[in-house]
A and B are shown apart, each in its own frame.
Chain A
Amino acid sequence: MIPALDRKLLRDLWRMKGQALAIAAVIAAGVAMYVSQLGMLDSLRLTQHEYYSQYRFAHVFAGCKRAPESVMEDIRGIDGVQTAESRVVWGVTLDVPGLDEPAVGQLISYPDHGEPLLNDLFIRTGDLPQGPDQIAASEAFCKAHKFKPGDSVVALINGRKRRLTITAIVLSPEYVYSLPAGGFIPDDKRYGVFWMRRHELAGASDMQGAFNDVTLTLKPGASEPEVMRRLDDVLAPYGGRGAMPQRLQLSNWFLNNEITQLEQFGNVLPVIFLAVAAFLLNVVMSRLIATQREQVAALKAFGYRDRDVAIHYAKFVLLVSIIGGIIGAAAGAWMGRGLTQIYTEFYHFPVLVFRLDPLLPVRALAITAGASLLGAMASVRKAAALPPAEAMRPEAPPTYRRTLVERIGLEHVLRQPTRMILRELERRPVKAALSVLGISMAGALLVVGFGFIDMVNYVIDSQANVLQREDVSVTFIEPRNRSALHDLRAMPGVQHAEPFRNVPARLRFKHRWRLAGINGVSRNATLNRVVDEDLKPLVLPDEGVALSRALADVLGITGGDMLTLEVLEGERPTRQVRVAALVDDFLGLNAYMDLEALNRLMRQDGVISGAHISVDPAAQRQLYRQLKDTPFVAGVSLKQAAIDNLRKTMAENILITLGMTVFFAGVITFGVVYNAARISLSERSRELASLRVLGMTRGEISYILLGELAILVLAAVPLGCLLGYWMARGTLAALNTETFRLPFVMSDMSYSVAATVVLVAGAISALIVRRRLDRLDLVEVLKTKE
């Protein structure tokens, strides 16, 4: 037997199902956003962790020029090393069927017998290579070319062309993110990773009895910096390129940066969502209960206690919250799983682990329900605090006044209904202000969503049209004399060639360091440029280095400080250079120098490592073919491909989240505006019906109610834009990482699209309310007092 009061609850809820649903939708949006984002992140971290530990991802990585295998004894002897394994890693250029330009690849040795001790491979399909000229290939590369086991590519290894047959398609924890050295954007078509049996690769690369790469794991409690320092000492005589901890390993570093970015998104946005939802519920519930004032009084007259009344409304709020929460949690779990799936594929994880912490939806629900309860309770207390006799009496005519507009003498301009609108707004300024604030918060979420999408596009466009104006960048196998430029310029279709130099180095300031290349940029570069925050070309100083602001932050260095460069090629000199400028660039951690200044620093003259080229489209294919057969070319990167890949990466990353943001912000906007309209309707339907009785038309009474709504919505638009601006500004810093940074650029478009959504939500709500106004029961008004 359901108590009568609970029946009232259920029936009230059913009667208000439209409104209740709108409130539930707001809660659902907040909860879904929260649950899907955090659930996905949790799963992603878990998947990453599982993958790394199952496939024995190494803790420290180091490369060298060439070291005899016997050195491994010294490395294994380093205190704190658990397992160490030597490898041969060899860069190759590839001639891939169907690709005009050369692709580059990394050949990695795989033990002749058994599994690798570290960095094991997950075999998606096929069998690991056994015979000569056989390779296992990374899944990303095979997918990009639709390769299956049995297909082959031609590789230029150590100057000799060999046809290599793919026997297996594999995934490696080392190449979750597969990036060519120095690249920032995965380009699976033009970069592949391959595994070959050790003796075979050693034979092809003249590395018999030697290695040029070592990976190791640490014993529990071992000091990572200490092991790396000793490893560097051991490898230094053999051209060691500096040890790298797991956290800075390229693929892992990118992956962590991306997950961090998603995490920051996932922590910031859903919380804003929940906060906004909670605020709205607070406002909506308090007004809703205010409309039940008489019923509260009746209940009290029969002897219901304040507590009973409070519990009654609390149940109401909880029921709506729980409905919204369940919808939100279910949708969130479903979306979270979908998102995890997307990222699992994007990152080439072999397994998908989706875990939803049951506390997550519970927490989200507690936050929203708590906030709505708070809002509701304030009104219940107010309703219950009235002596019942007073509540039963028809409310005293509310105190209205001539509004400011009228007081300053404009009253003759305003018709009676307009005066009613203005007086209503001025009589209850707090109510009006809260409505405006609620609508503008929802609008602000839209501004944030659209704004970030804009910023991402801004970065991609700037990258394509301002920073990277070349068509192709060619990298040489070894640094070459400037005269190599002439060879390039003589090639078909080359319109303009601009030299660059890249010097791999360890950048050190006090105890902090990072491995990075110093980019030597030619003076007056017109193709590949460094720009300031207004996208104006930046003239690099005659001396000194310009750093990405993010890199300077990582190193804890500021302009004017001396940076130590430990060069990792050639004579491996150590140099001091002054930080001359900080650059707000978008991608990666970079160091820039004037090309000549860099050469002077290196005490060399006219050395370059490649060139940026603009190409006559007509001769493009011809140029690519010739580059493919040019022995000193290590790789070619296509600007358009890079931009496309950047767009794709962004689309698969934050744009998904941003899309969700915009969708849910839309849901919230509608929920808020609709509720504001419906509550005004229930508060004033009697008054409006009376006006109909007096002879006003439906249009005229609609004007009174909807005119008020229109003023509220219109007032909310600019405020929402302003709030959105602040919210975006406040959250932006949290979204920036070492790999990818957004500049704060808000376009008029973001504001206008957000404003349009708010206005459309207002218009639709107005239409629904208008239909209700048309059905007002006039007779009922005359019969009863309320």
Chain B
Amino acid sequence: MEEEQIYVLADSARATVFEARGVTKVYRMGEVEVHALRGADVDLYEGEFVVLLGPSGSGKSTLLNILGGLDTPTAGTVRYHDNDISSAGDRELTEYRRNHVGFIFQFYNLIPSLTARENVALVTEIARDPMRPEEALALVKLADRMDHFPSQLSGGEQQRVAVARAVAKRPNVLLCDEPTGALDFKTGIKVLDALESVNRELGTTTAVITHNAAIAEMADRVVHIADGRIAKVDVNLTRKKPAELSW
């Protein structure tokens, strides 16, 4: 009870990490024009665990990609601390991703020709102040599988390697796109557990995209997205531990 209260109190006091205003994104898929975002406004605070919840096609992945500097908005502004990343060029975005952002994707996106340790090293080698790959893998409880290739790991293990790879650089923000989307319940919980402990132990601002409402219960705040806009924001007074979730 004590712990939960600290969270709530801290919330309002925390600094703003992201400040997105009127973010719009239109892109072409083949011959179709897709309006992925239609003026989204949202703030993310330091150290919080946010879940972006919405059905598929709601624009949540697009929002995450824009926050992570993988994509730029068609209109609107996005500020990361004091920097406008919505108007940044390719070079600045690369530096931004390199030094501040950790990504986790639904399909892991591990490099198939590299072992778990090497996949993590791929990132630590270019980071400013990384952990050792072994340390990062221990954090996700994969110390004994470090020299396995992706093809020798289960889906959950692969995703934990991806988590290790994302956190090894000690990023300021961790952005996760449907991290459990391709996993069964049990392994999904393990991955969420890994994310929760990173958020708790390292204080990394963490945003998780999901269409699974159950996961929202472990967040500090839940941002509901529908049809390219922010529908509402819920604040959880109590955060459930991943082990307490069920779906």
Contacts and interface: CB of A to CB of B under 8 A. Distances in A.
B129 to A, nearest CB: 14
Interface string B95-137: 1011101010101010101100011011101110000000000
B71 interface: yes
A531 to B, nearest CB: 66
Contact of B118 (A7, A294, A302, A785): A7
A398 B30 contact: yes
A3 interface: yes
B90 interface: yes
Interface stretch (A43-51, A387-395, A429-437, A505-513): A387-395
Interface residues of B, number: 40
Interface residues of A, number: 34
Interface in A130-160: none
A681 B157 CA distance: 29
B27 interface: yes
B68 A4 contact: no
B106 to A, nearest CB: 8
A303 B121 contact: no
A786 B110 CA distance: 12
B24 to A, nearest CB: 15
A4 B30 contact: no
Contacts of A294: 109
A785 B107 contact: yes
A399 interface: yes
B103 A295 contact: no
Interface string A1-32: 00111011001100100000000000000000
A786 B108 CA distance: 11
A295 B30 contact: no
Given A8-B113, A302-B103, A783 B118 contact: no
A304 interface: yes
Contacts of A389: 61-62, 65-66, 70-71
Contacts of B61: 389
B56 interface: no
B29 interface: yes
Given A303-B94, A389-B70, A399-B31, A12 B113 contact: yes
B72 interface: yes
Nearest to A308: B126
Nearest to A292: B111
A303 B97 contact: yes
Chain B contact residues: over half helix, strand or loop, or mixed?
Answer: mixed
A121 to B, nearest CB: 66
A358 interface: no
A601 to B, nearest CB: 83
A359 interface: no
Nearest to A301: B103
A11 B71 contact: no
B75 interface: no
A8 B97 contact: no
Chain A contact residues: over half helix, strand or loop, or mixed?
Answer: helix
B42 interface: no
Contact of B105 (A308, A392, A398): A392
B114 A301 contact: no
A784 interface: yes
A526 B94 CA distance: 85
Given A4-B118, A8-B114, A784-B107, A301 B68 contact: yes
B94 A4 contact: no
Nearest to A400: B30
B226 interface: no
A175 B78 CA distance: 87
A543 interface: no
A784 B182 CA distance: 8
B236 to A, nearest CB: 28
A397 interface: yes
Contact of A302 (B66, B114, B122, B155): B122
Q: In the complex, which of the residues B101, B105, B109, B127 has the most CB atoms of chain A within 10 Å of its own CB atom?
A: B109
B98 A4 contact: no
Interface in B174-228: 182
Contact of A301 (B32, B70, B126): B70
B114 A304 contact: no
A4 B114 contact: yes
B182 A783 contact: yes
Interface of B: 27-32, 61-62, 65-66, 68, 70-72, 90-91, 94-95, 97-99, 101, 103, 105, 107, 109, 111, 113-114, 118-119, 121-123, 125-127, 155, 165, 182
24 contacts: A3-B125, A4-B114, A5-B122, A7-B114, A8-B111, A8-B122, A15-B113, A297-B109, A301-B105, A303-B98, A303-B101, A303-B126, A304-B98, A305-B94, A388-B70, A389-B61, A390-B27, A392-B105, A396-B30, A396-B32, A398-B30, A399-B30, A783-B182, A786-B107
Given A295-B111, A302-B98, A303-B95, 16 more contacts: A3-B121, A4-B122, A7-B114, A8-B113, A11-B113, A298-B111, A300-B94, A302-B122, A304-B94, A304-B126, A306-B90, A387-B72, A390-B27, A392-B70, A396-B28, A783-B155
What 8 A-B pairs come out closest when comparing CB atoms? Answer: A303-B98, A11-B113, A389-B65, A389-B71, A389-B70, A396-B30, A4-B122, A396-B29
